[in-house]
């Protein structure tokens, strides 16, 4: 019995009753360039003879977006989406005859084609980080008007609030799409004039 540990991107452990610890020269693509590495023969044999199920599981696990949930139908849905992405990537490589195509780049292009520049602007929590669309909205050279919230309603000031010390205000900017909570004066001015407005 041969036990072998080989450090690639992570530690790979192999058990074999047939192979020994011999290595062979193997070429691979990293960061769009080709390099030659010494690879154990047992790993090369496993890679060339393993079934399609192992390869598909490897692709699915590489950039998995599934999350733990008690709703079985939700997990099943996202697993089917994951499987569809992997299958489309393999078909893309076969049709375009590009064996060196990168899985991550394919996923990036797929997301851009499906979603584009669409952003969710109806977030309930207004204390988070602003997106680029928020920056263009608040930094426009237009007049911004301050308004007072209805009685009993407050918002967290985006400028002077910190993660552990949240400061609330009844005032907000009614011109900006997010209607951010802001204290009158310095906070209101910093938010509409500076890209990095946090105190």
Across residues 105-126, what is the average pLDDT? 72
For residue 65 the two structure tokens come to: 């977006």
Confidence (pLDDT) at 29? 75
Instruction: Kindly report the average pLDDT of the chain as a whole number.
Output: 81
- Using an 8 Å Cβ cutoff, are 144 and 167 in contact? no
pLDDT at 59 over 70: yes
**Helix axes 52-62 and 103-115, enclosed angle (nearest 10):** 60
Rounded Cα distance between 159 and 194, Å, is 11
Rounded Cα distance between 181 and 199, Å, is 15
Of the two residues 28 and 94, the one the predictor is more confident about is 94
Using 50, 70 and 90 to split pLDDT, how confident is the model at 119? low
Confidence (pLDDT) at 192? 86
Confidence (pLDDT) at 3? 92
Across residues 49-72, what is the average pLDDT? 76
| Per-domain boundaries in the chain | 2-115, 132-193
Angle at 121 between CA 116 and CA 122, to 5 degrees: 135
CB count in 10 Å sphere of residue 188: 20
Q: 62-89 pLDDT, tens per residue?
A: 777 777 778 888 888 988 888 898 889 8
Confidence (pLDDT) at 197? 85
Rounded Cα distance between 102 and 63, Å, is 12
Would you say the pTM of this structure is higher than 0.85? no
pLDDT at 53 over 80: no
Contacts with 86 (C-beta within 8 Å, 6 or more apart), sequence order: 56, 59, 60
Rounded Cα distance between 80 and 114, Å, is 17
Of 177, 184, 182, residue with least CA distance to 198 = 182
pLDDT at 120 over 70: no
Q: For the range 62-70, what are the long-range contacts, defined as Cβ-Cβ under 8 Å and sequence gap of 24 or more? A: 62/103, 62/104, 63/103, 63/104, 63/107
Across residues 123-135, what is the average pLDDT? 53
Of 28-42, 45-59, 171-185, give the range with the top mean pLDDT. 171-185
Confidence (pLDDT) at 126? 47
| 75: Cα within 13 Å, side-chain hemisphere | 6
């Amino acid at each position: 019995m041969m036990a072998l540990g080989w450090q690639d991107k992570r530690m790979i452990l192999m058990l074999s009753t047939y192979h020994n610890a011999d290595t062979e020269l193997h070429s691979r693509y990293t960061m769009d360039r080709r390099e030659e590495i010494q690879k154990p023969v047992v790993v090369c044999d496993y890679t060339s003879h393993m079934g399609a199920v192992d390869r598909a599981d490897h692709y699915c696990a590489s950039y998995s977006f599934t999350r733990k949930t008690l709703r079985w139908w939700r997990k099943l849905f996202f697993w089917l989406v994951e499987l569809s992405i992997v299958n489309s990537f393999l078909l893309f490589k076969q049709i375009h005859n590009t064996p060196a195509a990168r899985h991550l780049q394919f996923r990036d292009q797929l997301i851009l084609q499906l979603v584009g520049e669409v952003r969710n602007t109806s977030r309930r929590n207004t204390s988070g980080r602003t997106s680029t669309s928020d920056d263009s909205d608040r930094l426009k050279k237009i007049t911004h008007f301050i308004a007072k919230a209805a009685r009993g309603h407050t918002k967290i000031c985006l400028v002077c609030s910190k993660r552990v010390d949240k400061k609330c205000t009844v005032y907000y900017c009614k011109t900006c799409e997010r209607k951010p909570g802001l204290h009158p004066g310095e906070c209101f001015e910093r938010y509409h004039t500076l890209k990095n407005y946090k105190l």
